[in-house]
């Protein structure tokens, strides 16, 4: 038997997600924006478990997994791979001519280049914006931003550190882009924290809008449709960065929580001499891309930048925030720990729960110690 390569497979692979969606029946309930569509899964339902990324050309369902645009045809039409190829490219023998194939390949390459250039331009602009926000900030000590941290972190006022990573802005607008227009939804005092990239450059700022009249100390901010929005927002490019609260991680121990408050709580209870305390900005930045679904703890080692301790660090303590969803938090911190240990085989990583007002010494008893 001779196996002849079917050119329709290459044609189908060279299609974009947009072209494929045009060939499929409309996906019920899936709402499309510029970059992605989100809604119920065509196979298993739900509300927002299913998403399609138009740029990267992949889809994902948090319940039944994901794949590329050919796999999407299989999912939607419940058919085999070759049946999906037939839906996209017609019956065998009806293949497109080589000139058309070349035209499509070139068009795709052009589109990829354009997307990359657009992304780089947008990132550069966001970084410039972050730097100007930082430059507008005042020294942090003696301001409402210090009051906010004292309100959120027990015994914060006992810490002697200068916290050069923090600044205060008395009045900063909260701007959100809705339907291609910028809307100022709130304005008020802000704690600004510098997010430093692995090379030490500041490429993003983390902002917390403060309202000490609220039980959380954070401002309540709402979209025009009434949806509550996060009072903490990063501006710039946080990729692999961290908020370096104390130390330059030249010592052997690095302590990192997802948020500023969690990491500061560990610092207040700290007993690790010479340890640095860096907040990982958010769980996504700490875990990086993962292989598998929402609860996977397997890091995608080729999945782009994420937070990794500098190579001087030999003990990496990950503080687990009690407020976050436990299973997903554990998965994301485990992925962060696994990645760090794979990159630096001499490193040991430990995940320990945050205990507000607790002694870090008790929190971080090494495995086997009593
Ligand atoms: Zn599904």
pLDDT tens digit sequence for 26-45? 999 999 987 889 999 999 99
**43 CA to centre of ligand 1 in angstroms:** 5
Picking from 52, 207, 188, the residue whose alpha carbon sits closest to that of residue 126 is 207
Distances, alpha carbon 136 to alpha carbons 234, 273, 288, in Å: 16, 34, 31
CA of 78 to the centre of ligand 1 (A): 12
Q: What are the start and end residues of each CATH 3.40.1360 domain in the chain?
A: 244-370
Provide the residues around ligand 1 (an ion) whose CB is within 5 A: 41, 43-44, 61, 63-64
Least Cα distance to 59 among 27, 25, 107 occurs for 27
Q: How far apart are CA 284 and CA 239, in angstroms?
A: 10
State the Cα–Cα distance between residues 208 and 283, nearest whole angstrom. 17
Cα separation, 278 vs 78, whole angstroms:
48
Q: Half-sphere exposure (CA, 13 Å, Cβ side) for 166?
A: 24
The CATH architecture one would assign to domain 244-370 is 3-Layer(aba) Sandwich (3.40)
pLDDT at 359 over 60: no
75 C-alpha to center of ligand 1: Å? 9
Helix (H, G, I), strand (E, B) or coil at 333: helix
Work out the end-to-end distance of the chain between its first and last CA atoms, rounded to an integer number of angstroms: 67
The pLDDT of residue 369: 40
Q: Are 50 and 61 in contact (CB under 8 A)?
A: yes
Alpha-carbon distances of 78 from 63, 91, 239, rounded to whole Å: 16, 18, 38
Ligand 1 centroid to Cα of residue 111, in Å, is 29
Angle at 158 between CA 157 and CA 160, to 5 degrees: 100
Cβ contacts of 42 within 8 Å, gap of 6 or more: 27, 28, 50, 75, 76
pLDDT at 180: 73
Q: What is the pLDDT of residue 108?
A: 79
At the topology level, CATH places domain 7-89 in: DNA Primase; Chain A (3.90.580)
- In this structure, the number of other CB atoms found within 10 A of the CB of residue 59 comes to 28
Percent of the chain with pLDDT over 90: 59
Averaged pLDDT score across all residues of the chain: 88
Going from the Cα of 207 to the center of ligand 1, the distance in angstroms, rounded, reads: 35
Q: Say how many Å lie between the CA of residue 58 and the centre of ligand 1.
A: 14
Interval 109-119 mean pLDDT: 86
Q: Report CA(46)–ligand 1 centroid distance (Å).
A: 8
What's the 341 CA to ligand 1 centre distance in angstroms? 33
33 vs 144 pLDDT, higher one:
144
Q: Which runs of E-coded beta strand occur in 294-368?
A: 315-320, 348-353
Q: What is the pLDDT of residue 10?
A: 86
Q: In what order do the strands lie in the sheet with 181-196?
A: 138-139, 166-178, 181-196, 202-209, 232-236
Q: Check whether 368 has a pLDDT greater than 50.
A: no
pLDDT confidence bin for 133, thresholds 50/70/90: very high
**CA 30 / ligand 1 centre spacing (Å):** 13
pLDDT tens digits along 317-357: 999 887 778 889 999 999 999 999 999 999 999 998 876 65
In the chain, CATH 3.90.580.10 covers 7-89
Instruction: Using alpha carbons, select from 270, 277, 271, 275 the residue that is nearest to residue 251.
Output: 275
């Amino acid at each position: 038997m001779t196996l002849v390569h079917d050119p329709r497979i290459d044609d189908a692979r060279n299609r974009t997600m947009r072209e494929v969606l045009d060939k499929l029946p409309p996906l019920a309930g899936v709402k499309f924006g510029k970059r992605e569509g989100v809604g119920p899964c065509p196979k298993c339902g739900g509300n927002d478990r299913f998403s399609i990324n138009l740029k990267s050309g992949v889809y994902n369902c948090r319940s039944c997994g994901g794949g590329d645009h050919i796999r999407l045809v299989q999912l939607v039409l419940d058919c085999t791979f070759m049946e999906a190829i037939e839906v996209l490219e017609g019956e065998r023998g009806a293949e497109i001519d080589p000139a058309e194939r070349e035209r499509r390949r070139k068009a795709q390459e052009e589109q990829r280049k354009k997307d990359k250039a657009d992304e780089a331009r947008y990132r550069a602009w966001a970084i410039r914006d972050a730097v100007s926000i930082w430059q507008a900030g005042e020294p942090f000590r003696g301001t409402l931003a210090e009051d906010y941290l004292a309100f959120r972190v027990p015994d914060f006022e006992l810490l002697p550190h200068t916290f050069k990573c923090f600044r205060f802005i008395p009045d900063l607008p909260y701007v959100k882009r809705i339907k291609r227009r910028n809307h100022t939804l709130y304005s008020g005092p802000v704690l600004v924290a510098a997010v430093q990239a692995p090379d030490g450059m500041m490429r993003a700022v983390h902002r917390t809008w403060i309202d000490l009249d609220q039980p959380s100390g954070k401002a309540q901010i709402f979209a025009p449709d009434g949806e509550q929005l996060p009072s903490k927002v990063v501006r710039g490019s946080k990729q692999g960065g961290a908020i370096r609260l104390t130390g330059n991680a030249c010592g052997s121990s690095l302590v990192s929580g997802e948020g500023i408050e969690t990491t500061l709580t560990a610092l207040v209870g700290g007993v690790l001499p010479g340890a640095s305390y860096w907040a990982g900005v958010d769980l996504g930045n700490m875990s990086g891309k993962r292989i598998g679904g929402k609860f996977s703890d397997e890091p995608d080692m080729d999945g782009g930048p994420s937070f990794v301790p500098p190579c001087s660090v030999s003990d990496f303590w990950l503080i687990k925030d009690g407020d976050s969803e436990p299973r997903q938090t554990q998965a994301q911190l485990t992925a962060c720990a696994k990645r760090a240990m794979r990159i630096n085989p001499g490193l040991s990583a430990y995940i320990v729960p945050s205990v507000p007002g607790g002694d870090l010494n008790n929190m971080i008893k090494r495995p086997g110690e009593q």
